[in-house]
Amino acid sequence: MNQDIYVVIEHLRGQVAEISFVMLAGARDLSKGLGGNVVAILLGHKAQGLAGDPSAGSGQYLAADKVLYLDHPVLADFTSDAYQKVLSDLIAKDQPRAVLFGSTSIGTDLASTLSIKLGFPMVSSCSSFSADGKFISQICGGKIMAEGALPGPTALVTMVPGGYKAERGQSTQSPAVTQIEVPVLDSLRVALAGYIEPESGDVDIAKESVLVSVGRGIQNQDNIVLAEELAQALGGVVSGSRPVIDQGWLATSRLVGKSGKHVKPKIYLALGISGAPEHAEAITNSDTIIAINTDPAAPIFNIAKYGAEIDLFDLVEILTAQVKAAKGS
């Protein structure tokens, strides 16, 4: 057992995911109080470049004290079964103080199962660590925070973005890389068949400068036209949060959020969007967020620059008319 903080690096098709740098920054904070090293765990195939091989010259390296690299053809792309086997052996052998995973499509496939398998405690949706080593997690769509001591002996933690800047998890110096042996990977039950590229869609919402974005509060498909009229008046386009896309009211290409697009418009006008963490992480690079919501406790008001606690149905048509009038004058 040791005091090191292990960070399971997430990468997808040759790119290190931003959450990996966020976790490295969090791990650095945590290690200051605990005294251990920050250790990046990298699983892949011919992926030394991601670990910080100077010959790959990727510029930004993982801000870790060292990198443990595990290479195997089966690990080239993420699959839960193979990753679990490799990590299970490694964590059981080393027993670090904590292992950080992304609260993502990759990390959540791993952490819970390993918690049961290894008998190590688990914490979800952690956004930051306090100086004395406590975790702070977000639940209930970002409305409620829960704080507690990092459980032991080895805590498995999934992390959400928002608590740390990714730049703090990057370094200009290449960390030391140690390649370690991969256990035998046979009788695997999960295999990657291939990737399906994102729908290109009619517009690229990531490039638009005005987004009128609708959430659950829009209530039904017939009301989308209200947002479309406003967007048209403003010279922007309509996007939406997950519930709106899942209902089929807008095309998948219009999804703003964790599994959709990250956007950075000049104006992000959120109509009836509560601002759950999965949505919030995708809009933080907007210049000006304006939120319209009837719920004063909606977390969107905590990240918006301007807000109004008003029913969008009382407002939108009037607003569209006023925008048109102002443009006409």
Partner 1 sequence: MNILILVKLVPDLVEELTIDTSGVALDTAWLRLIINEFDDHAIEQGILLKERGGGTVTVVAPDIEGVEDVLFTASAKGADRLIKIKGSFSGVNNHALARAFSAVVKELQPDLVLTGVQANNDLDGSVGPLLAGCMEMPYIGYISGVSVSDGKSKVRKEYPGGLIAEMDVTLPAILGIQAAEQPPRYVAVSKVRQMMKTSTIEERIAPDLDITGGPTIDRMFQAEAGQRATMLTGSPDEVAAKLVGIFKELGVV
Q: How far apart are CA 295 and CA 184, in angstroms?
A: 53
Sign of the alpha-carbon torsion through 183, 189, 193, 197? negative
Q: How far is the CB of 92 from partner 1 (least distance, A)?
A: 13
Nearer to partner 1, 175 or 279 (CB): 279
- Name the 3-class secondary structure at 261: strand
- Cα angle for residues 219, 305, 23 (degrees, 5° grid): 90
Nearer to partner 1, 167 or 287 (CB): 287
Nearer to partner 1, 37 or 108 (CB): 108
Residue that has been written with the tokens 């510029």 in this structure? 59
Nearer to partner 1, 177 or 234 (CB): 234
Whether 241 and 273 have beta carbons less than 8 Å apart is answered as yes
Q: How far is the CB of 267 from partner 1 (least distance, A)?
A: 6
Q: How far is the CB of 308 from partner 1 (least distance, A)?
A: 4
Q: How far is the CB of 34 from partner 1 (least distance, A)?
A: 17
Burial 60-91 (b: 16+ CB within 10 A, else e): ebbbbbbbbbbbbebbbebbbebbbbbbbebb
- Cis peptide, bond prior to residue 243, ω within 30 of zero: no
Q: How far is the CB of 55 from partner 1 (least distance, A)?
A: 28
Nearer to partner 1, 62 or 111 (CB): 111
Nearer to partner 1, 62 or 300 (CB): 300
Q: How far is the CB of 155 from partner 1 (least distance, A)?
A: 8
Q: Which helix (H) or strand (E) holds 139?
A: strand 134-139
328 — phi, psi (to 5°)?
-70, -30
